[in-house]
Structure 1
Amino acid sequence: MRKSVALVAFILFQSTGAFAGGSLKDAPAPIPPPADGWSGFSVGAGIGGVSIDQNASAAAKRTDIFCLYWWGCSYPKDDYLSGGMNDDAWKVFGTVQVGYDRLLGDRILIGAFADYDFYPNGDESSSGSTKHGSLSGELNRAGVWTVGGRLGVLVRPDLLVYGLGGFSRMNQNGEVTAEFDNFKLPTSVTLKAGDLDGWTVGGGIETKLDRIDKRLSLKVEYRYSQFDGESGSGSDKSEAYKWWVLHCANEKARFDIDDATVQSVRAVLVWKLQADATPIEPLK
């Protein structure tokens, strides 16, 4: 029994003897793994082409009612106005982004991003008129911002293939105005529409540009986005007396913006803020 206790005491003494004449500062600290070139925060900017397939339509109706004191009321024929807008042409846009990525193991990468696409030529307009009225409309698109995530795999140490998805919002303002001037009694209705919410999916490739700078990479993406539409209606009413006649004018208008389908292709130059970070030196 005494021999066993002595053996245990000897082992404990040997395991702690290395620190008997020193401190924790002198003990070697674990060396963290070197930077992988993909993990960390990033910023980027790029350019691309976008196709927005979206229809908008407007319609207005006016009814004039004349009431004679001894004849009652009569209803002349209604006046109608209609117009529409359609946009499906490809346009050039710019984009900026921020993001964060983390490499899991040797090949799998997960990340989060937020970006904004600027549409410099995203406006559409239309107009229509009759003998006594006019209808004009505008659809102004400033751009789209998206918040989402991506999941990718390294097919080479310098080449990433990934898919992405997220929530998107199109910054859009729509307005349509219907004006009538039948029988010298003018009426007008103006309707407005705002931003549209939707979703985005897509994919791309990203390659490191080590020959230029260890922090730089270039990615090329395709995205498909879908946005919900919006509708609105309004009315206006005017009355006028002339001698023994009461003239009433009722106008109603409606503005419908259909669902929008957006397809885009972009090239983005990415600056990895931590891609060339050096490992922390151990304490001495």
Structure 2
Amino acid sequence: MKKIALALTAVAAMTGSASAADLAARPYVKAPMAAPVANWTGFYVFGGGGGGLSNSDQSIVSTTTGTPLTITQRQGGSGWFGTVGAGYDWQFNSTWVAGVFADGQFGSIRATVQDPLLQITGSQKLEDSWAAGVRLGWLVAPNVLSYVNGGYSGAHFGSTNFSTLAGGATTVRLNGYNRNGWFVGGGVENSLNIFGISSPGWFMKTEYRSAFYDAKTQDEISTITNLPTGVNSVRANSWNQTISTSLVYRFNWTGPVVAKY
């Protein structure tokens, strides 16, 4: 009887040890964390440069009557420019960003001006321009924004000194003037946190813009004996296309915000 009791006691002890082993603490598993989410809301400034093309539909009209004296001809040119600006963006959901901005451009985009009646030609320089508008963007990735923009623009064109088609000097010129118009465009802006380099707040954007300026009539000014002042006038509009690359700094950007779990 004692042997049976001892055997049962041994079995119970072994069963208890196995149960205790089964109840050992489970290994700790860390809960998954949410993916990083970037926030584009805030102010920014930028500066850069690029190149542009200028096209102008020109005709010669009578200064006294305004009657067209020639058919409309398209003249063109090209050049470079620098740009600076500032803006504010608002990210209103996980994929869309809207904003306002203003910028200025300065440089040397030139276009040809001709008077075929007098057989003279000159180079007109777009000295500076400004723009104020809105943009709407879609986040291709948390740190990459693709956008379109549009708004109001103004430009100042410098004076033009004419020469003969053969290259001879003349005293005929056009005074500088201002024009107003509108623009549309688009581009891509992306964070510079690439290739393992940490640059919080710094971005780069590349943008195409097309600006249209109203037609304006300017009198030719001359002191040539056989050409009294104001005999002819040049009537022309202006269409400028530019591509620029700018360095952008976002004041609110401290890197992606990681949601708590």
Question: What range is the shorter-chain TM-score in?
Answer: 0.5 to 0.7
Answer whether contact 1:35 1:275 (CA < 8 A) is retained: no
Q: What is the distance in 2 between the residues matched to 1:267 and 1:205?
A: 10
- Alignment-mate amino acid for residue 102 of structure 2: A
| 1:256 counterpart residue number | 234
Deviation at 1:87, TM superposition (A): 4.7
The verdict on how the C-alpha distance between 1:212 and 1:189 changes in structure 2, with shifts beyond 3 A counting, is same
Residue 120 (str. 1) matches residue 108 (str. 2): yes
What root-mean-square deviation, in Å, do the aligned CA atoms of Structure 1 and Structure 2 show?
4.0
| 2:81 counterpart residue number | 93
Map of 1:137-152 to 2, 5 A cutoff?
139-152=124-137
Q: Of the candidates 200, 204, 207, which is equivalent to residue 221 of structure 1? A: 207
Q: What is the distance in 1 between the residues matched to 2:220 and 2:211?
A: 30
Answer whether contact 2:214 2:237 (CA < 8 A) is retained: yes
SS in 1 for 2:110: coil
| 2:54 counterpart residue number | 52
| Deviations 1:93-144 (CA, angstroms, capped at 9, x unpaired) | 21111111111121111111111111235365668898xxx96756332122
- Alignment-mate amino acid for residue 91 of structure 1: G
Q: What is the distance in 2 between the residues matched to 1:60 and 1:141?
A: 25
| Deviations 1:173-198 (CA, angstroms, capped at 9, x unpaired) | 345789xxxxxxxxx99763511111
Runs of 5+ consecutive residues of structure 1 not aligned to the other structure? 1-33, 62-80, 179-187, 237-248, 280-284
Deviation at 1:209, TM superposition (A): 1.3
| Deviations 1:32-83 (CA, angstroms, capped at 9, x unpaired) | xx9944211111111211000025455789xxxxxxxxxxxxxxxxxxx99x
Q: Of the candidates 96, 99, 102, which is equivalent to residue 111 of structure 1? A: 99
Runs of 5+ consecutive residues of structure 2 not aligned to the other structure? 1-35, 64-68, 164-170
| 1:78 counterpart residue number | none
Q: What is the distance in 2 between the residues matched to 1:264 and 1:273?
A: 27
SS in 1 for 2:175: strand
Answer whether contact 2:84 2:104 (CA < 8 A) is retained: yes
| Higher strand proportion | 1
The verdict on how the C-alpha distance between 1:60 and 1:169 changes in structure 2, with shifts beyond 3 A counting, is same
Residue 170 (str. 1) matches residue 155 (str. 2): yes
Answer whether contact 1:46 1:267 (CA < 8 A) is retained: yes
Answer whether contact 1:56 1:255 (CA < 8 A) is retained: no
| Deviations 1:11-33 (CA, angstroms, capped at 9, x unpaired) | xxxxxxxxxxxxxxxxxxxxxxx
SS in 2 for 1:195: strand
TM-score (norm 1): 0.59
Q: What is the distance in 2 between the residues matched to 1:117 and 1:251?
A: 33
SS in 1 for 2:158: strand
Q: What is the distance in 2 between the residues matched to 1:171 and 1:213?
A: 37
Answer whether contact 1:47 1:95 (CA < 8 A) is retained: yes
Q: What is the distance in 2 between the residues matched to 1:192 and 1:111?
A: 37
Map of 1:182-201 to 2, 5 A cutoff?
192=175, 194-201=177-184
Paired residues, number: 204
Q: What is the distance in 2 between the residues matched to 1:259 and 1:175?
A: 15
- Alignment-mate amino acid for residue 188 of structure 2: I
- Alignment-mate amino acid for residue 220 of structure 1: T
| 1:66 counterpart residue number | none
Answer whether contact 1:189 1:253 (CA < 8 A) is retained: no
Q: What is the distance in 1 between the residues matched to 2:122 and 2:77?
A: 19
The verdict on how the C-alpha distance between 1:252 and 1:147 changes in structure 2, with shifts beyond 3 A counting, is closer
